[in-house]
Structure 1
């Protein structure tokens, strides 16, 4: 192998790690814009770096974990002094997405999220399971350093875990969709009209229900169902992110249905809304995508079967298929509209 090739591979690996570190740090800066203080500890209702880290691992493999560690250190440095007591934070925030990735890989997770099992795996293994590590290491580190009384451990732990889990549930599906985003084959005018209508409806409904005093947060779910049924994950993931961002903004400002609430009440309402919205968007989109895939495979099987029958008995089975646009075919007989 040429010497230049030996040099090129380590350089490319280093660049990937630096890119991961930069993305993690940038996500952390965005997450800290909506930080809250729980019992003296800084937590965020939505922590984007966890979703960014898991997405990078799913794209590039476990070999980019040093980039995550560097990103964690960079984020810690913007909040507090980096010393020996931050080792627990470094280990926990690095190990959590790596553990989530290893568990997902173990069960043959597909980043396309085109099966219900993939959506459930991302929820229970990637988000709820994997992020137990970061919350536990983070809370114990604060207790050990004297920054957090032992009696307040569970309140900080729960807020930490919820924020990290929401980062996976909201950010990871969106990034996985963006990586394989393509212009739709269906370019008919009504498709674009519906897409614009969905975007406006999502923004309008989310803005209204998070700013008025009436408790109408449940109105976001019809919009999410619409997005998942008609556009699958490319439509529902951005809607879930928009709803989460607007809800977090309203909660931290104490506006709308979040006005006059205690910090505990705010966190409970906010995480319940964000969690249910993310689950609805992810799981319903996965179900619809899986059903569309099954339908297409059935149509392909019918078409292949028709070709075999025609080869065995030419012309004798043509009358069994309905005429569509002057042609006969198994895909039309199967009810396909692709």
Structure 2
């Protein structure tokens, strides 16, 4: 079984050797046969023909089949020259003539091999007729450089053998070289073009060729042959008419027809010139041959360059058409993909709009009952007859209502963040006052749990900063609220300090957000003084498991104990981190399970009024909010029963919900006001026409005519001095709702649930307008 492959390889090797030997024999026979044909046409004393076709045949063979046939060239060249230069009169002359012929054969083989090698190194396996570049390199390497070696070796051998004198070396060398060049120019392209014709191409040509096309080819062949006969066999110098015919043939039929036609023209021109007729016939045969060779070389060069250029342009055109088709197909695919993307985008936008609409609607619907719950709770808390247990119960209801309101706000915030609609609204604010207000808000909770709430504010903090105070307060409330929620004993420390330059450099290296002092709607001016502040909230609570640390800033993730998971949605830290990034900073956390946690918030602030550090009290503001260190917070909400006496106003309430009407009426009554009620915007207009009011508290969503339409109608009928001040009082609590109300011409905005403090502030603000 193992012998079969070995035998098969042996047979294959023998077969390959036989094929190579056959190729060498064919090349040798072809070279010798063409040499004999050319020698019969020789007219020079040196027995050199005007066109040496054997070199053209040999060059084509080596270019097509490789260097393994060079032995055939050597044998053919030796046989072609031995009979011309062999001297048998003496043994010495015999050996000299054999050596001379061998030098000629070696020069011919070396020149053809060198030219083919250089050309293949330059163009690879491409056809020499493929394009202009290949044609030019074929002329340079094969037809010009290779033949120089051939001519030099041949003429040198003749001079060494005494066949010609050294004084005639230049003329003989030029004649020999041009003869070889002309042979390669004429015959090699023809044979190369024949090699490109395959059975498939012949069948394709036969099927595609129309009778009219074939007739055109025969007419051109007849025309060119007739012109050549007249030019080179007659006495009419019209050989220049061949050029346009060759151009036509090249454009219409390609380089195959052009190269074969050139070969036919060259044979006619050679025969006619050697017979002494035609345009190139001169008394000096060398001059005639030079003119003939120049004509042939020029004609071939022009035709092949034109053919190569046309082929290249056609290929480029075909490639361009193919590319255009592919591009069109890809464009169609991209168009389809774009359509799918557009549809997907439209679906996503529709879903996002539906989500936003749903959240807005739910926010409105949830705020409406909350308004009643929180409003009635505030009224009941003012009753003096309440027992301590009743007051505590009412406080629980009030806190639960605002906890539910906070959950609604969180859901809206995370929705806006996901939709990329989170807005930052910076303003000037008292920094220390903001910090004290935040810490004061958690005093009751710290007292209730028996936890020390320690606040430390360094004296070098800026007094007034330009930032979004609402969003900063939201972050701090989340962080402090979490710290107190997860701490049952010990303390919670709230430290705020200015970051030094050295600490800032470390933070810049370790953080990707701290240097981003931009947000969606606010950019800190590069010329402003910017300080970086560190907020550190440290607790002695339950701590966070290291495996869960990566999840604490993800939405809806709660990593604490089960007993705490019912106290929130898991959105607080996710929202706080996003807001911190919008403000140009970030939140980091370190924690140890059972020991406690430390949340660090780093934020840049634009200082509005830089502090004069010489006037700073260098003692750190530190105080304790726990136990007996502070008075218990007053649960009352500040109902001023004499407010109507201080600010006597006629008030109209536009509200379609019966429960909200009752709650608002009782709030106004507690403040000393008797209000009229309109159930919709149309009733508001009718009541304003019959009576004068100072204030209109306008709901937005009402039947018949909503609040925005009613406001537009009021602005249209009454001028500024005569119309009442309009305050929006609505469950639509989105920032866009506030902007929409103010843009419609309303003077102020209150969102439900209504807090009595905000209601009183709005009444006081309206007094300025009434006095005017």
Confirm or deny a common fold (TM above 0.5).
yes
In the superposition, the TM-score normalised over structure 2's length comes to 0.40
SS in 2 for 1:265: helix
- The residue that corresponds to 1:178 in the other structure is 194
Task: Tell me the residue number matched to 2:220.
Answer: 198
- Counterpart in the other structure of 1:46: 51
Q: Say which is worse superposed, 184-193 or 17-26, in terms of deviation.
A: 184-193
**Shift, 1:243, TM fit:** 1.4
Q: 1:113: Cα distance to partner? A: 1.4
1:277 equivalent to 2:293? Answer no
Instruction: Supply the distance in 1 between the matched residues of 2:135 and 2:99 (Cα, whole angstroms).
Output: 38
Q: Unaligned 5+ residue runs, structure 2?
A: 1-5, 87-96, 340-772
CA deviation vs aligned residue, 1:47-96 (integer Å, no higher than 9, x gap):
11111111111111111111111111121134232512222211111111
Distance of 2:254 and 2:37 partners within structure 1: 27
Give the deviation of 1:214 after TM superposition.
3.4
Instruction: Give runs of aligned pairs for residues 210-221 of structure 1, distance below 5 A.
Output: 210-221=232-243
The answer to whether structure 1 residue 64 and structure 2 residue 69 are counterparts is: yes
> Per-residue CA shift, 1:230-287, capped at 9, x if unaligned?
1221121012111111111111110133444212220221111111111122111111
- Give the number of the structure whose alpha-carbon radius of gyration is greater: 2
Equivalences for residues 1-338 of structure 1 within 5 A:
1-2=6-7, 3-37=10-44, 40-81=45-86, 83-109=98-124, 110-111=126-127, 113-181=129-197, 182-183=201-202, 184=205, 186-314=208-336
Q: Structure 2 CA distance, aligned partners of 1:237 and 1:133?
A: 26
- SS of 1:46's equivalent in the other structure is coil
- For residues 316 and 29 of structure 1, the distance between their equivalents in structure 2, rounded to whole angstroms, comes to 72
Find the counterpart in structure 2 of residue 325 from structure 1: none
Q: Is the 8 A contact 1:58 1:111 kept in 2?
A: no
What is the alpha-carbon distance in structure 1 between the residues aligned to residue 253 and residue 75 of structure 2? 37
| Stretch moving more, 1-10 or 165-174 | 1-10
In the TM superposition, structure 1's runs of 4+ consecutive aligned residues that sit over 3 Å from their partners are 314-317
- Contact persistence 2:27–2:73 (CA under 8 A): yes
Alignment root-mean-square deviation, CA? 1.8
1:315 is displaced (CA, Å) by: 11
More helix by share: 1
Using the alignment, how far apart are the partners of 2:281 and 2:324 within structure 1?
58
CA contact (8 A) 1:88 1:138 kept: yes
Instruction: State the shift of 1:36 in Å.
Output: 2.2
2:50 counterpart SS class? coil
Question: In the TM superposition, what is the alpha-carbon distance from 1:316 to its structure 2 partner?
Answer: 9.8
* Higher RCO (CA 8 Å, separation ≥ 6 residues): 1
CA contact (8 A) 1:88 1:137 kept: yes
Q: Say which SS state the counterpart of residue 123 (structure 2) adopts.
A: coil
> Quick one: distance in 2 between partners of 1:115 and 1:148?
42
Structure 1: runs of 5 or more not aligned: 318-338
Distance 1:302 1:54, change over 3 A: same
Aligned length: 315
Distance 1:316 1:234, change over 3 A: farther
1:323 corresponds to: none
SS of corresponding position for 2:47: strand
- Contact (CA 8 Å) 1:209, 1:219: kept in 2 or not? no
